[in-house]
Amino acid sequence: MKYMLIMRAEDDSWTGGEDFDFEQMLETIGRYNDELIQAGVLLAAEGLDPDPGVVVDHSAETPIVTDGPYGETKELFGGFYLLDVASQEEAIEWAKRSPISGPGIKTEIRRVPTIDEFPQDNVWVQKERKWRESTGNL
């Protein structure tokens, strides 16, 4: 099963980050990433650039685009890991081992459904399956 670990932080979680040692962060995250790779569970991992970004709000008939990416939220979505693990419990154990920790830091865990869970007789599901097969993403 696929699970996404969504790395979130409150706005002020990085206060004092001016003294942040980028090389040390790369070393720490690199070791964690290597554990995921060696365990054979890592499918993807990306951090997100907080700037520039926009939000497209679909609440109105005409979508409204505003500067973002976070708007009025108190928590920032800063990156993700996509893991292929046997269960939610295993995803939780990997999240607990994350070196990205501290006050206001959270990891949201969400299962990513497979295309097999959608109606296979649907034309759009069939088209997506064909695309996934042609790109090696199935």
Domain count, the chain: 1
| β-strands 2-10, 105-112 pairing | antiparallel
Cα separation of 105 and 78, whole Å? 10
Closest residue by Cα to residue 112 from 47, 43, 30: 43
In order along its 138 residues, the chain shows pLDDT tens digits of: 999 998 877 766 655 556 667 778 778 888 999 999 999 999 988 877 766 677 778 888 898 887 765 555 555 677 899 999 999 999 999 999 988 877 778 888 989 888 898 889 999 999 999 998 998 887
Whether the CB-CB separation of 67 and 50 falls below 8 Å is answered with no
Cα separation of 38 and 28, whole Å? 16
pTM score over 0.75: no
What domain range is 21 assigned to? 2-135
The amino acid at residue 73 is T
CATH code, 45: 3.30.70.1060
